[in-house]
Each structure stands twice: as C-alpha cells, then as structure tokens.
Structure 1
C-alpha cells in the first residue's frame, strides 16, 4: 500500500499551484474552470502519480510542525532547489544536516515544504 493522495487547503490557490509546478515539477490535472459545481480546487500530479489536491480556503492553518516533503536523490539537487528559491526571492535558510541534508520553505498558500536528501551510503 502506498500513500497516493493529499489534500491541502490553501489561502492562494493559483500561487500555491504555480509554486509546486515551478520548483517540484507537479503537473495540473484539473483546474477550477473544469468544475461542474463551484469547487475552487486544483489537482496536481507528480511523476509517481501522487495526487495533490489544493483547495481554496479563506484561512489555511496547519499545526506548527506540519509540512510536505520532496526527497531528492542527492545533496546537490537539494542545493540547486535552494539556490533557485533564494534567487527568486524566497526567504530560506541554507540546507544543513539534521536528520537529512535539508531545508524548509514557506510556500505561497500557507504551508511548509521540506526539501531533503538522505545521506548517501558508500
């Protein structure tokens, strides 16, 4: 069994979707214009067919430690995403070793994203 669907209420639907598309390669599967009712949601897919549903919320609120994560295959990939985010004006602290090579970024829409790579085993 695998986890294959998450639902995130977000304060800015379009900005959150664009962020996930731009930095993490998710692709749109469904836009609000396609809805037969008045649902304000965007459905995104990743390369493994994980379904990420973003739903418009007046106020998105998550517990302090809540986050979603994107595991990279190397420290270099983590560094490259960090550099892109920083160059684009996001306030991010540099990656560091905690339990993994990792950093966190506050995404548009009100949720936190962790970008990480596990230590390479020799």
Structure 2
C-alpha cells in the first residue's frame, strides 16, 4: 500500500502555491484562483490545497521534504532566510533538519 494523496486546508492558496513551487519544485496541476490547487511530486504524491476560513493544525503537525544531501538542506535554509522566512539553522536531530512555517498556516520540515 502506498499513500498517494494528501489534502491541506490553508489560509492562502496562492502564497502556498508559490512557496511549494519555489522551494520544493512541486508541479502545479490545476488551480481555481485562491480556493483550490493540485500538485504532483516526482514520486507520485498528489497534494491538494483548499482554502479554509479557519486553519488550525496541532503544534506537532507537519509535512516533510527529504533532500538528497545536507548541502541541499543548507541551501534551502539560506534561500528561505534570504527571502525573509523566520528559520533557525539546520541541526542534527533525527536527521539534518529544520522547520519553517509555510504560508497558509502549516509547518514544513526540510531534512536529509
């Protein structure tokens, strides 16, 4: 069995689209303004975004993007810092990792 679909409710679909495409290379499949979007990754995952009036995820909820190297994690971290995101430097935990609050109201882990 393979998980192949995930839907996230977000406060701003357009800003979330820009974030996911810019930093993680997701391919945008279809959008309906600032209300709905479908994305695909190169592994077959389908990620949908739906605009919600109230977005509230538990503190521990997050999605993760595994990278091929520590250098790639560092590069994404620096790009996000340069673009004004409030990110701490990567650290050694269960992996070389950092977390960032994505536009739309959810947390993303970047790791290798």
Q: TM-score range by the shorter chain?
A: over 0.9
Given candidates 95, 101, 106, the residue that maps to 2:90 is: 95
Partner of 2:5: 5
Gaps (5+ residues) in structure 1?
A: 34-38, 118-122
Aligned to 2:97, the other structure's residue is in SS state strand
TM-score by length of 1: 0.88
Alignment root-mean-square deviation, CA: 1.2
Number of aligned pairs?
112
TM-score by length of 2: 0.96
Q: Give 4+ residue runs of structure 1 displaced > 4 Å after superposition.
A: none
Q: Say if 2:69 is the partner of 1:71.
A: no
**Structure 2 counterparts to residues 34-53 of structure 1, below 5 A:** 40-53=35-48
- In our comparison, the structure showing a higher alpha carbon Rg is 1
Aligned to 1:63, the other structure's residue is in SS state coil
Alpha-carbon separation, structure 1, partners of 2:35 and 2:25: 22
Partner of 1:36: none
